[in-house]
Structure 1
Amino acid sequence: VIPFEIWLSGGYIIIALTWIFASDNILKLIISESIYQLSYFQTIKGAGFVFTTGVMLWWLLRRKRLELEEYANTLRVVNQNLRQDIAERERAQKELAVMTERFEERVAEGIQEERQRLARELHDAVTQTMFSANMIAESLIVMWERKPEQVLDGLKQLQQLTRGAVADMRMLLIELRPRAIEEIRLPQLLKQLCESYAGRNGIVPELIVDNHILLPVNVRHAFYRIAQEALNNISKYAKATRITISLEEKDGTVMMRIEDNGIGFELDKVEDGAHFGLKIMQERAQAMNAIFLLKSKPNHGTSIYVAWDSR
């Protein structure tokens, strides 16, 4: 398609050439020779040519000016949009930098907290257990000379402490190697938790599990952490002498039950530390879309139920 300006320019050239080469002959035919020779007529003739040329040029320039203004408006809009996009990207980059910095700080805090927790567990569990085992071993030497009949009980106690220390070390190694939780089945993890508890507290939890249960990694991890937190709370607050942990699957639902015969508590009167532990267990259950139920009464023990639907 030929642009309108080219058509108009062509028409202008034709008119201009016609005016230049044919206007004299045409005007001589229309008007008399005497009038044609008058100077003012020649002036009118030249003025007409100038006027025609001016009108044509004005039309061309006006149309081009309108197009240029439209193009300039488009450029202004595009420029404004680009500035807005650049500003939004800069703002997004700043927000991302702030979020990254906060995330790194939280990761660093989490690592530091985890190190402190492991250090506390190492001190509270293994160090104290080994100290107690050493004290019993030293006392057995004296006891062998004075009361040899009591040495057997001391050896049993020493055996229990060393088993607990080994279980605690295994648990700490698992904590230091998070992939270990992904590799070990939940029944085995629960068994190690019970052995560690027995070594620290002298009470062996009863463990009833279905060893054929297979769970996704995130679900297995959540069940493990809930059981770990429940045993920690029992050790700190319950004063229990009997603990039962069961894990079973029925009709696609995996149920874990943790019961103790401790002092229990009223649900609306929970100590800060225990309340924090209960909240952690609830959050872990919610994270895997499981049902969490806690029952407790003063002097009637505590029961925790966690049910996860695998379907």
Structure 2
Amino acid sequence: MRQRFASIRYSYIISHLYGLFLTCIILLATLLTIYVLLEPIWLTIKGIFLFIVLYLLIALLVSIYAGFKSGGSLKYRFDYISTQITQFAHGNYQSRLHFQEGDEITRVANEMNALGEALQDQVKSLQRMADERADMAKNSYKTAVMEERQRIARDLHDAVSQQLFALTMFSEAAIKQLDKAPKLAKEQMMEVSKAALQSQTEMRALLLHLRPVYLSGEPLNKGILKLVEELQQKSRIDFQVSISDNLDVSDTIEEHVFRIVQEALSNILRHSNASKVIIHISSRSNELLVHIGDNGQGFHVEENKKASYGLKTMKERSEELGGTFHIRSSEREGTYVDIRIPC
């Protein structure tokens, strides 16, 4: 109630009533001065106070109406500005104010529109820089692929190839000794089995190292679904995934969002002890909305935000795209991550 009477509309009404009070005092003092000094016949004490009372009643109604109307218009314009600030805080920099009055409030609105354009240009610049970094990363990736191929070829030659050669030699020797020295042939066959097992272990290590970490050209929804399917096979977590099919975002945004989801799931698997995880990704009003929640043990956000490298990485990736990153968590009540990215 107190906040309501502190609004602009009631402040205008109070200012009108204050002006009314001062006017009544001045009128009363003027009429009483005329009565005392000149003592005109037409001016009496009853007439003075009757005039003041009538004036007070009429002016009171006029003051309330005028203050309510003028204050209401001003309140509407300030509410419009407040809504605009909220839109900026949520990352919607395309919203604009349109006032025709030409006063100081209109000037503030025009400056806010200029600020919105500057922020929007900054977001585009950030996304353009992210695209450039993505291109550089792709070029670096190609170089890394060539180096990795050389390394794999080296490993195949140094480890697997030599083991296969040894396996061949032991096999040929065992075949020759099979009739003459069965015991020696058995020992050689055991060496063959050992060499084959070692070769298989080396090949599994190489294949695991070649497992893709990025989207590798897949759409965002398929990449996340594939990642979740792999995690479901290795854990008992119930994943509930909801991703819109009509996401119209750049490859850079898809890559960053995929890595954010990947980092979030990594944190959940390592720290949360959760049994249920929700992933919801959708687009609305030129924004990409990402929600990741779990029912795990939670933590104190302020105590862990600075210490957690994973949270810092997720926040930095969101801000690189001009987005906002919010995390809510408390002990035994789960953790919820909400990200808004303009697109």
Does TM-score exceed 0.5, indicating one fold?
no
Of Structure 1 and Structure 2, the greater helix share is in 1
Normalising by the smaller structure, the TM-score range is: 0.3 to 0.5
**What's the TM-score once normalised by structure 1's chain length?**
0.42
Name the larger-Rg structure: 1
Please, what TM-score do these two structures have when normalized by structure 2? 0.38
Higher relative contact order (CA 8 A, sep 6+): 2
